[in-house]
Amino acid sequence: MQRSSLSSFLLGICALTCSLRFNVALAHPLSPESSPKDSIIIGVSMGAATPSGVSSVRSMRMAVEEINAAGGVGGKNLVLSVRYGKDKDAANMDSTIHELIREGAVCIVSGSGSANTLRAARIAVAKGVMLMTAASSSPRISEVADKNLVWRTIPSDIFQAHVAADVLFKKKLKSVGIIAINNAYGSALAQAFTKTFEKAGGKVRASVSYPDIASYDTFSFKAKLDSLYAKKPAAIYVISYDNDGGKILSDSKGYFNADYKPFLFGCDGNYNNDFVIAVEPSLIEGMEGLSYVHPAKYANYDTFAAKFKKYSQRSADMSDLANSTLANMLEAESTNSYAATSYDAIYTFALAALKANSAKPADIAKQMPAISRASKGAVVVNVGEFAKAAALIKQGKAINYEGASGPVDFNTKGDVSHGNYVIWRITGGKFIEAGTVAFP
């Protein structure tokens, strides 16, 4: 797929500036000896720089600054140690996790894809370190033998699968073909959708997968598409990212004619204008899909968004500027939703550490449900109210953190208990918001 020259230019700036920042961090790593003893280190492992990724890191910085300004956690300041890496580079991501743990991180926030988060979780759990993610949605994360150390502030794709099945049923589309990238994200979402859709009475006529590789420029989807379209399902569910999804649909042109044109449905991995740019407009006109989004008409998100806008204007650096410009150009409407989940990851960790009166990962993890559930007598703590929470905890009172991304009610698997999704539609070569859905 060819990007526009401006898009390529901006991504080049992002890659260069983030690479420079990454290398500087490696040249001067934190260590238990060099870090202040009155600090708690949170390691952040990101994939390649993207608009949502840079916004997520910025929102975490904002959360840390708010918490430290309110007195920190038991008098200790939070310290954020950030590493950018490369997508689809497992060895690089593994070494990053090990390095952050050597620096003394008691919690790792994984901001890359689900496959990398699963690898990071296994390393962190083995070392007795907490791991949180605000971006990885694979149901497989819930299945990790995690010793209660793995938590996330973004909903599992079990929810996205339920919503996708419901949307298609409401359109009276009861036969579906699925094409999914074969990784922790794509395969798990395809499996969850199939189970839900068929339990409701639908039929998955074909389900094909393709490899997760660095480039699809020379990859042939023909054999996959032959199988996908052979039984002419009424709808096609494309579970992909932008480059691969664009090529899948471009290569699908020969299968469509006056007698057969299935309804096209996508996922959050397609919700990127690079996907739209890659495909002939007539092929994807009217295509719909889902993407995670913050709740509609939610006061805490509005408060967060206003604070975050001011903070972003004050703290933007070269890579932030490039990514922000790219986000605006590509109309990345859900970018701040991931910033909100990232902000909540830092806040829930800090509140649990405060309640535990400890910086030990196991102690903090035990308190994660306690600070986020609406138990009897619990006082609601909203966005930016860390000082209020600290005073309540000191008085021995229960708190219920209501986050920027929504009510953060952790279940027994460490997952949030709700999800909100935008139904997007492609009209005239652009994404429009066709509606929002909450689940459950």
Cα(172)–Cα(352) distance, integer angstroms: 46
What is residue 300's three-state secondary structure?
helix
24 & 101 share domain: yes
Position 286 scores a pLDDT of 98
- Residue reference for tokens 């975050």: 308
Q: Is residue 337 part of a domain?
A: yes
Position 374 scores a pLDDT of 86
144 & 161 share domain: no
Q: 118 falls in which pLDDT band (50, 70, 90)? A: very high
Q: Are 129 and 99 in contact (CB under 8 A)?
A: no
135 & 85 share domain: yes
Taking 80 as the threshold, does the pLDDT of residue 290 lie above it? yes
Q: Are 437 and 421 in contact (CB under 8 A)?
A: yes
Around Cβ 223, how many Cβ atoms within 10 Å? 10
CA distances from 409 to 67, 227, 284, 370 (A): 21, 42, 37, 9
Taking 80 as the threshold, does the pLDDT of residue 19 lie above it? no
Cα(17)–Cα(3) distance, integer angstroms: 20
Q: Which of 261, 114, 267, 288 is nearest to 193 (CA)?
A: 267
Q: Is residue 413 part of a domain?
A: no
**Paired sense of beta strands 263-266 and 235-239, if any:** parallel
- Which tokens hold the place of 118? 């699963």
Instruction: Tell which of 349, 366, 383 closes a domain.
Output: 366
Q: What are phi and psi of 8, to 5 degrees?
A: -65, -40
In 39-88, the DSSP E strands lie at 39-46, 77-84
147 & 166 share domain: no
Q: Are 409 and 153 in contact (CB under 8 A)?
A: no
CA distances from 425 to 193, 226, 244, 266, 428 (A): 20, 26, 19, 9, 10
Cα(387)–Cα(64) distance, integer angstroms: 13
Q: Is residue 18 part of a domain?
A: yes
Q: Starting at the edge strand that comes first in sequence, how are the strands of the sheet with 235-239 ordered?
A: 203-211, 175-182, 235-239, 263-266, 288-292, 419-427, 430-439
Q: Is residue 222 part of a domain?
A: yes
Instruction: Tell which of 230, 260, 290 closes a domain.
Output: 290
Query: Domain span at residue 71?
Result: 5-155+301-366
Instruction: Tell which of 366, 386, 410 closes a domain.
Output: 366
18 & 128 share domain: yes
Q: Are 409 and 417 in contact (CB under 8 A)?
A: yes
- Domain with residue 115: its CATH number is 3.40.50.2300
DSSP 140: G
Q: Is residue 390 part of a domain?
A: no
Q: Please return the burial class of 78, using the count of CB atoms within 10 Å of its CB with bins 0-12, 13-18 and 19+.
A: buried
Total structural domains in the chain? 2
Q: 320 falls in which pLDDT band (50, 70, 90)? A: very low
Taking 60 as the threshold, does the pLDDT of residue 20 lie above it? no
73 & 148 share domain: yes
Q: Please return the burial class of 285, using the count of CB atoms within 10 Å of its CB with bins 0-12, 13-18 and 19+.
A: middle
Q: What is the pTM of this model?
A: 0.89
Q: Which of 406, 423, 407, 324 is nearest to 373 (CA)?
A: 407
150 & 162 share domain: no
Give the pLDDT confidence of 122-161 residue by residue, as tens digits.
Answer: 999 999 999 999 999 999 999 999 999 999 999 999 999 9
The percent of the chain in helix, strand and coil, each rounded to the nearest 5, is: 45, 20, 35
Q: Is residue 309 part of a domain?
A: yes
Q: 92 falls in which pLDDT band (50, 70, 90)? A: confident
44 & 137 share domain: yes
52 & 76 share domain: yes
Helices (H) and strands (E) counted in the chain, each on its own, are 15, 14
Query: Who contacts 259 (Cβ-Cβ below 8 Å, separation ≥6)?
Result: none
Cα(342)–Cα(136) distance, integer angstroms: 11
Give the pLDDT confidence of 44-80 residue by residue, as tens digits.
Answer: 999 766 667 888 999 999 999 999 999 999 999 999 9
